[in-house]
Structure 1
Amino acid sequence: MSGLIVDHVMPESIAEELEIEPGDRLLSINGHIVRDVIDYNYFGAEDNLVLEVEKSDGELWELEVEREEGEPLGLVFAAPEPARCGNNCVFCFVHQLPKGLRSPLYVKDEDYRLSFLYGNYVTLANIGQEELDRIKEQRLSPIYISVHATDPATRERLLGKKDLRPIREVMEELAQARISMHCQVVLCPGLNDGATFAQTVADLAALHPWVASLAVVPVGLTAHRGRLPGLTPVTEEFAGSFVPEWEAKARELEKRLGEPFLFLADEFYLKANLPFPPLETYGDLPQLENGVGMIPLFLHEAEEVLEEAGKLPPARVTVVTGDSPFRYLSEFLEKLSAKTGTAFRCVPVKNRLFGPTVTVTGLISGKDIIAELEGMEPGGVVLVPDVMLKEGEGVFLDDLTPEDIEAALGVTVIVAESSPRGIYEALELLNEQ
């Protein structure tokens, strides 16, 4: 059924004055059928509107709106139901999940709308011309594209799908329409590295500035691959040669293009045990949510926090983390302890849920934290980084809550923003209680 069901109405808004209520369905704006929130924002940008609304009892209303420029209507809708992914990627993380997790974690989405709205990466392997035309017409920019390889045969092998339109052609069409794109390559040694990766970088750099950035991230492998295709992990040796080569080429590209373009994920530097480049080489951090520049940003913010931190009442605090950032977090906490008087214990949590090769903080489960801290003396407070919890729901990957950890360990659990400032502010809040 077409139209959007109203989730709620903002108080004292135009929509409230028009007596639109939750459960009503917005059918059209100025004669244009409303398919999703993108249509709502696009067609609803005019100051003079005619809304067709179906009330919850089936009655049809036609409402005329005259508003001041920029004045919101006050309608709020639920996020669109994502289109399902039709790929069978050889490295798909969803295929590597253990059994028993909550059902939404097993859903593979591939929706250009969510790419525009929330920055989700999509392959565009399942997109049709009608959808491409909509992206161009409605200026859905930027979008985030998982390229993986511009070589058609390699890309089809990686995505597990045949007869795909070459991604270079799709992106050229979007570039001609002046649609901005951020791209990623999941690097699988032996599949899309070497000359194939070099060609991918060259092809995408040729579309700059409409291809605004390119991140390369190492393939993530769990202990639950079962009968899935065998893949070679990114090892310390591989990363140790890859980083110097492509860090130098990234600087060459920056000089040629006039701005940072190619970014290596933090995980490459961690695996290679190599120092990170300066924070300024990451530009405006366009790939931060993709794990690019997180540690350099952490180190930069740590210096600022340590300069302003003052003495606090004595406390014992255990901070849990994944293996990847442990070195940098523990060094910061040691210095913060000297400034504040707080006694910190930094504990790297082994990932029992996904296996030891998964070392990022955001994939630690509640049961893993309990298992790691049982038998220890964590003190009265355990500080948990917010990236371990599902945003808006406050649960770990295994559906445990911070309260479950408190009950199991007999401690107070505080959830803090996973940054130096977030940790320091959590300490200040603790001492105000």
Structure 2
Amino acid sequence: MVVCPGVNDGEVLDDTLLGVLDRFPELSSLAVVPLGVSSHNREPSLRPHTKDEAAIVVQTVENWQVRFLDALGRRLVYAADEYYLLAGNPFPEADSYEDFPMYEDGIGMARAFEAEFTGKLLSGIGPRAGFFQWVDGAPAEGYRAPRMSGGSNRAGEIVRVGSPEDVEAVPVGISVRDDAPVGILTGGYGAQVLSPLVSSLGREGVRVIEVENLFFGGNVKVSGLMVGEDLRRALSSEPEGHRYLLPDVCLNNGKFLDGLCLDDLPREVEVVPTDGVALRAALKRGVRYADVEQEAST
């Protein structure tokens, strides 16, 4: 459910969750996500959450998790990662997400990514059945459409064999050195999650590049909605000869949501699957990636 501050939060949210327990106890899971408001919004009653409002939503959800656990033996309701970032609260421990049933709704993505990146999980959780990933709107062809339409991303290739977790990276000849400094391109929320993880590596040559979303504006900060125009602006001020890693979640058949493609960017980028295992491998081995999942599946 999407929570709009001043509309269906507070007592209304409490009543809604009480109704779920009373009338829909068989419900598998429920995601509580904040309203996304772009700069194109013309409805004055719709606005982003404040930090205090986000903290109240988190507390409300966590209170109801205790009640659902007592009554049903499972938490059932989860607050989106975005709420914890907005409130400045630490994320719940990984086992609190009960096998991440709502991963693609932005529930537990940060903890899952951390576990993948640090090696606690040896494979990425990857796509599961669901309506959308952690984006405000899925691409027209669906978020399961191939991220790359085949060919090269000017940086290398990744070959997927069998299950999504079985990934073999294949290096190819490129113009940027493997040991060059690395910039990880990500949205505002991704930067909050990635920065402490990257800092823990103790590698001076690796940095997080936060890409401000001016295309959508407002409080849109998810990596899945990064567009070519914003990436082009961010990369134009970055030095040449560095490696730039780009999560594949912002691509649909090799194109960004604004219609631009990788060739429109001023720097070579390496498209990396959007999970901690792939990012760790890219940083560790210096292997260039391009997603040719479509070719591997044919």
After TM superposition, the score normalised by the length of structure 1 is 0.50
Change over 3 Å in CA distance of 1:256–1:368 after alignment to 2: same
Paired with 1:223 and 1:232, the residues of 2 have a C-alpha distance of 10
Determine the structure 1 residue equivalent to 2:229: 367
Paired with 1:313 and 1:350, the residues of 2 have a C-alpha distance of 27
CA deviation after TM superposition for structure 1 residue 200, in Å: 1.4
Question: Of the candidates 212, 216, 222, which is equivalent to residue 350 of structure 1?
Answer: 212
Instruction: Please list, as runs of the form range in 1=range in 2, the aligned pairs for 1:14-53 lying within 5 A after superposition.
Output: none
Question: Of the candidates 77, 101, 104, which is equivalent to residue 262 of structure 1?
Answer: 77
The one-letter code sitting in structure 1 at the alignment partner of 2:2 is V
CA contact (8 A) 2:178 2:286 kept: no
Change over 3 Å in CA distance of 1:299–1:255 after alignment to 2: farther
Change over 3 Å in CA distance of 1:344–1:305 after alignment to 2: farther
CA contact (8 A) 1:208 1:257 kept: no
Determine the structure 1 residue equivalent to 2:277: 421
CA deviation after TM superposition for structure 1 residue 206, in Å: 2.8
1:290 aligns with 2:113: no
CA deviation after TM superposition for structure 1 residue 431, in Å: 6.7
Determine the structure 1 residue equivalent to 2:16: 200
Question: Of the candidates 285, 294, 319, which is equivalent to residue 184 of structure 2?
Answer: 319
Structure showing greater Rg:
1
Q: Which runs of 5+ in 2 are unaligned?
A: 123-176, 290-298
The one-letter code sitting in structure 1 at the alignment partner of 2:199 is E
- Percent sequence identity is 34
Change over 3 Å in CA distance of 1:296–1:382 after alignment to 2: same
Paired with 1:291 and 1:378, the residues of 2 have a C-alpha distance of 34
CA contact (8 A) 1:306 1:335 kept: no
Question: Of the candidates 370, 381, 400, which is equivalent to residue 260 of structure 2?
Answer: 400
1:376 aligns with 2:238: yes
Paired with 2:37 and 2:279, the residues of 1 have a C-alpha distance of 30
The one-letter code sitting in structure 2 at the alignment partner of 1:358 is V
CA contact (8 A) 1:305 1:421 kept: no
Higher relative contact order (Cα pairs below 8 Å, separated by 6+ residues): 2
Change over 3 Å in CA distance of 1:305–1:243 after alignment to 2: closer
Question: Of the candidates 185, 189, 200, which is equivalent to residue 335 of structure 1?
Answer: 200
Instruction: Please list, as runs of the form range in 1=range in 2, the aligned pairs for 1:167-206 lying within 5 A after superposition.
Output: 185-206=1-22
CA contact (8 A) 2:84 2:90 kept: yes
Q: Which runs of 4+ in 1 moved over 4 A?
A: none
After TM superposition, the score normalised by the length of structure 2 is 0.72
The one-letter code sitting in structure 1 at the alignment partner of 2:282 is A
The one-letter code sitting in structure 2 at the alignment partner of 1:235 is T
Change over 3 Å in CA distance of 1:370–1:337 after alignment to 2: farther
CA contact (8 A) 1:350 1:356 kept: no
Paired with 2:241 and 2:53, the residues of 1 have a C-alpha distance of 40
The one-letter code sitting in structure 2 at the alignment partner of 1:199 is D
The one-letter code sitting in structure 2 at the alignment partner of 1:332 is L
Change over 3 Å in CA distance of 1:345–1:306 after alignment to 2: farther
CA contact (8 A) 2:9 2:57 kept: no
Would you say how many aligned residue pairs link Structure 1 and Structure 2? 235
Paired with 1:230 and 1:418, the residues of 2 have a C-alpha distance of 34
Change over 3 Å in CA distance of 1:422–1:431 after alignment to 2: closer
Q: Which runs of 5+ in 1 are unaligned?
A: 1-184
The one-letter code sitting in structure 1 at the alignment partner of 2:16 is T
CA contact (8 A) 1:324 1:359 kept: yes
